[in-house]
Amino acid sequence: MTLSFKKTPAVNQDEKKKKRSVERQSSSNTTATAAGNNQDTYLNGIGSYEFIKSLGSGKFSRVMLAYHLETHQQVAIKIIDKQAHDYRVMSRLVREISIMELLQHDSIVKLYETFESCDSLFLVMEYVPGWNLDEYLQKKSEGALDEHEARHLFRQLVAAVDYCHHKWVVHRDLKTPNILITPDGDVKLADFGLGNRYGLQRLRTICGSMLYYSPEIITGQKYYGPEVDCWCLGITLFRMTAGFEPFSHAHTVGELKRDVCKCNFPMPSTLSPELQATIRKCLQVDRRKRMTIRQVLKDD
C-alpha cells in the first residue's frame, strides 16, 4: 500500500510567507528527528494512526507506540528510513515483511499492515507490553528462572519455532532480546530480520549473535536452517535456567570457536537431570545427532 497525500489548496504570497514563518518557528522548537538524522515529518501520527510515545530507536529506524483512530487498537509502528539503506538491506526488509505476513501464530508478533511514503517505510505490528526475555531475566534473582517457569515459557517458544519450520521458515537469530514476555506470561517471538525460507538448497549466511552461534555457523559450513534454530533453543534454555550463556566464559573468538566445536561448557549441577539432558540434546556438535524441534516438544 502506498501513501497518497491530498493536494494543498492554492494560497496567496502573504499566506505563503506566514506559513513559512510558522514552519521555521515550529522547526526550531522541535527536537525530534527521524531515523538517519533527517527532520521528523511524522510528529503526531501517520495515516489512520496517532502516535502515543517512542518505544525505541536505532540508527536508521525507530518504533512508535500508536493507536488506530477508529478501532483504538494499540500498535507498534516501525518507521524505517529508506534513503539510509542500500538495495541489499531493503531487499532483506522485503523478505522480513513477506515472512511476517506468512506467519500467523499466537506466540509470534503479528504484522498488521505496511505502507510507505517517499522516504520512509512503515511496519504496523502487534504491540506487546512487557519485557524482552533478557530484561525479564535481569529482574530475577541470579538472572535465572526456576525450572517450572522456564519450561512454561520454553514450551511456548518451541511451539512458535515449530510453526515457523512448518511454514519452511527459519528464524536464525533466536536469543533472549528477540523473545518478548507479556505480564501474563505469554511468549511472543519477534524480529525476523535474519529469517529466511529454507528447503532443499542449503543456506550459507553467517548470521545471529556470537554467543548463540552453532558449530556449523561459527565454522562457515552450509546448513539447512532448522538445526541452527534448535541449537539456539538449547542456548536460550540454558540462559533461562543457569543465568548466563553456556559459552560466555570464552575471552576471544578463537576460544569461543574451540569451545563451541567441542561443546565445552559448564553445566550447573543445580539443574535437574531431565533439564540437563534436554540442553545437551540441543547442543550436539554433530547436527545429525542434534534434537529436532519436534523431539524438543516431546522431550519437554
Handedness of CA 80, 68, 111, 234 (dihedral sign): positive
- Measure CA 171 to chain center: 9
From 173, 186, 259, 286, active-site residue: 173
Q: Residue 197's beta-bridge partner residues? A: 169
Please report which residue ranges of 48-115 form alpha helices under DSSP H. Answer: 87-102
Strands 45-46 and 49-57: what pairing?
A: antiparallel
78 is in an annotated binding site: yes
CB of 116 closer than 8 Å to CB of 3:
yes
DSSP helix/strand/coil, 170: strand
* Buried b / exposed e along 88-123 (16+ C-beta atoms within 10 A): eeeeebebbeebbeebebebbbbbeebeebeebbbb
Is 173 part of the annotated catalytic residue set?
A: yes
CA dihedral 147, 244, 96, 59 (to 10 degrees): 140
Q: Which residues are annotated as a binding site?
A: 78
Q: Tell me the catalytic residues.
A: 173
Q: Which residues are annotated as a binding site for ATP?
A: 78
